Amino acid sequence: MNKFSYLLIISLLFSGLYFKNFYLINSLQASSKISLDALAGKTNILPVLVIGSGPAGLMAAIYSARAGLHVVVAEGPQPGGLLTTTTEVENWPGDTSILGSDIIKGLRSQALASGVTFLQDTIKEIETTNWPFLVKTEEALEFNCLTIVMATGSTPKRLGIKGEDEFWGNGVTTCALCDAPFFKNKDVVVIGGGDSAVEETLQLLPYVRSVTVLVRSSQMRASQVMQDKLKTNRVKILYNHVPKEILGTDQDGLVGLKVYNTQQKIEHILPITGVFLAIGHDPNTNLLANSAVKKDSHGYIVPLDRSQKTSVPGIFAAGDVADPEYRQAGTSAGDGSKAGIDLQRFLQSLNWTSELQQDYEPLLFYPLSKTQSLLQISSKKELEELINSKPTIVDFYANYCPSCLQMLPVIESVAQKYLDVINFVKVDVESSPELVDYLKILKIPCLIAFKDGKPMARYHQTLNKAELNSFIESNLI
Ligand code: NDP
């Protein structure tokens, strides 16, 4: 053995000792911070909080509840997650073809049967520096969580081009499933070359006259099996084209899309009336913006090794929020199952068992359920009577629209506070064509506020309770 080899062995020994000590010091620090002693004097204790109710969140909840743990799922801004915006899913285990919404329905009822409780409130803040983690909601609830599963999914990206904000909800949208029926016999554009772009196109075809798919590179990223589904003469694919500007006027609405052909280096205008975006997603990690939970350069949570643990003990991640690569319903459900097992092991290491949980029962957090429902109208006559009696808020929705199902409980809850001074009503767009035409509804959910018999504001984005309260206080009372 030469001198160099001795030096190498000695330095390897030292680095091994260093890493062993480093690991020991860190695990000691972690275990000395996290102990059930920290629960002394605390109320509203929650062993498992799952944030998000897509396949990842629901599977994490089912695994945890079946282990006898008290679990609350915060449904989040899109109950059921992105899967509810798809139609047929042909790669879910055990089914040749199943609707995305039916997958969620099945998982949700399985979760309820396993003893999971649902919270219809939005998580506003998570304090991750101390354990148990203090969590605050929009409705000013506070509870102390022993474990948290981040299953918050991702949000469709926007283009950031001229005209996008101006025509948002008025011709530009990210949900073909929700808005396709408003584009009957129209020519529309889908932007993007991935599987989502194909899905949007397939959702549009039963309604529209033609779809132009705008792909910025020379090929689509979508799987071949998905691309093959676009072989119809009502779909035209424009490769090497980027969107430049959405065109239109207040009077005529959206009338075209200016595009740039990157090969021929020329601009031209596509005469279309609808733009459907399918250009990828951003992970929903805002709640952890100031935490020590490790994220990659695109904001995705980085799980430890092959587990769903994160860099903060007690916080787990599952589904799209921690997966920039696979993003399938099946892989998300798998992540959720793993997170449910990981968190059981974490709680076991603290000696939190289902027997011990019974001793804590009076101190556990349980959300209250809300059942108030809005008055439903379907004709212009009913609307006119209401808007001429007092300020009125009308919510246009459909049962197939996930964001609408998110808005309804928000409005129902806010309505209880103002029932004496404001009318709150809902309109199902499927059964009220007269009101859809009269108020020129092109995107749902759509919230219209009337004062003195006239429309005074219209919202297409989903509002939370604080935003709706503040709008009412400053405009309608
Ligand atoms: P992807 O990231 O796969 O595709 C995004 C597409 O948008 C790409 O073609 C990209 O172009 C394009 N794009 C991005 N930014 C712009 C821009 N500013 N202007 C124009 N084009 C833009 O996202 P998807 O949402 O389609 O899919 C995400 C994941 O979800 C994938 O793993 C997919 O397989 C999965 N999925 C599966 C489905 C199924 O199995 N049924 C359905 C839907 C999604 P470029 O390629 O040049 O980067």
Instruction: Give the model confidence (pLDDT) of 327-361 as tens digits.
Output: 889 999 999 999 999 999 999 999 999 999 999 99
Which of 6-15, 29-38, 412-421, 460-469 is predicted with the least confidence, judged by mean pLDDT? 6-15
Is the minimum distance from the CB of 191 to ligand 1 under 6 angstroms?
yes
Q: Which residue has the higher pLDDT, 256 or 170?
A: 256
pLDDT given for residue 370 in this prediction: 52
The active-site residue, picked from 145, 175, 178, 401, is 401
Q: Which of the four pLDDT bands, split at 50, 70 and 90, describes residue 2?
A: low
pLDDT given for residue 283 in this prediction: 97
Is the minimum distance from the CB of 241 to ligand 1 under 6 angstroms?
no
pLDDT value at 428 more than 90 = yes
| Look-up of token digits 């309604």 | 207
pLDDT value at 39 more than 70 = yes
pLDDT given for residue 112 in this prediction: 93
Q: Which of the four pLDDT bands, split at 50, 70 and 90, describes residue 224?
A: very high
pLDDT given for residue 222 in this prediction: 96
346 vs 339: CA distance, rounded Å: 10
Ligand 1 pocket: which of 327, 331, 335 to mutate (most atoms <8 Å of CB)? 327
Q: Which of the four pLDDT bands, split at 50, 70 and 90, describes residue 373?
A: confident
pLDDT given for residue 13 in this prediction: 42
Q: Which of the four pLDDT bands, split at 50, 70 and 90, describes residue 21?
A: very low
Measured in Å, residue 381 CA sits from the centre of ligand 1 at 45
400 vs 178: CA distance, rounded Å: 7
Active site residue 404: yes
430 vs 476: CA distance, rounded Å: 28
HSE-up (13 A, CA, CB side) for residue 53: 31
Which of 35-44, 173-182, 463-472 is predicted with the least confidence, judged by mean pLDDT? 463-472
pLDDT given for residue 346 in this prediction: 98
Do 76 and 122 contact (CB within 8 A), yes or no?
A: yes
The answer to whether the predicted template modeling score (pTM) of the entire model surpasses 0.85 is: no
Q: Which of the four pLDDT bands, split at 50, 70 and 90, describes residue 471?
A: confident
Is the minimum distance from the CB of 217 to ligand 1 under 6 angstroms?
yes
Q: List residues bridging with 448 in a β-sheet.
A: 394, 458
pLDDT value at 61 more than 90 = yes
Query: If you average pLDDT over every residue of the chain, what do you get?
Result: 89
Task: Pick the residue whose CA is nearest to atom 33 on ligand 1.
Answer: 195
Looking at ligand 1, which atom is closest to the CA of residue 326? 32
Measured in Å, residue 281 CA sits from the centre of ligand 1 at 8
pLDDT value at 285 more than 80 = yes
111 vs 29: CA distance, rounded Å: 35
pLDDT given for residue 270 in this prediction: 98
Measured in Å, residue 327 CA sits from the centre of ligand 1 at 11
Give the distance, in angstroms, between the CA of residue 254 and the centroid of all CA atoms in the same chain.
Answer: 27
pLDDT given for residue 329 in this prediction: 93
Task: Pick the residue whose CA is nearest to atom 15 on ligand 1.
Answer: 279
Looking at ligand 1, which atom is closest to the CA of residue 197? 26
pLDDT given for residue 27 in this prediction: 38
pLDDT value at 262 more than 80 = yes
pLDDT given for residue 407 in this prediction: 78
Is the minimum distance from the CB of 199 to ligand 1 under 6 angstroms?
yes
Measured in Å, residue 456 CA sits from the centre of ligand 1 at 37
Give the mean pLDDT of 47-55: 96
pLDDT value at 79 more than 90 = no
State both tokens at 183: 């584009």
Is the minimum distance from the CB of 194 to ligand 1 under 6 angstroms?
yes
176 vs 174: CA distance, rounded Å: 6
Percentage of the chain beyond pLDDT 70 is 92
Cα 343 to Cα 58, 66, 251, 314, 357, distances in angstroms: 14, 13, 56, 7, 15
Is the minimum distance from the CB of 193 to ligand 1 under 6 angstroms?
yes
pLDDT value at 26 more than 50 = no
Measured in Å, residue 156 CA sits from the centre of ligand 1 at 10
Print the SS3 string covering the chain: CCHHHHHHHHHHHHHHHHHHHHHHHHHHHHHHHCCHHHHCCCCCEEEEEEECCCHHHHHHHHHHHHCCCCEEEECCCCCCCHHHHCCEECCCCCCCCEEHHHHHHHHHHHHHHCCCEEECCCEEEEECCCCCEEEEECCCCEEEEEEEEECCCEEECCCCCECCCCCECCCEECCHHHHHHHHCCCEEEEECCCHHHHHHHHHHCCCCCEEEEECCCCCCCCCHHHHHHHCCCCEEEECCEEEEEEEEECCCEEEEEEEEECCCCEEEEECCCEEEECCCEEECCHHHCCCCCCECCCCCECCCCCCCECCCCCEEECHHHHCCCCCCHHHHHHHHHHHHHHHHHHHHHCCCCHHHHHHHHHHECCCCCCCCCCEECCCHHHHHHHHCCCCEEEEEECCCCHHHHHHHHHHHHHHHHHCCCCEEEEEECCCCHHHHHHCCCCCCCEEEEEECCEEEEEECCCCCHHHHHHHHHHHCC
The active-site residue, picked from 175, 178, 404, 446, is 404
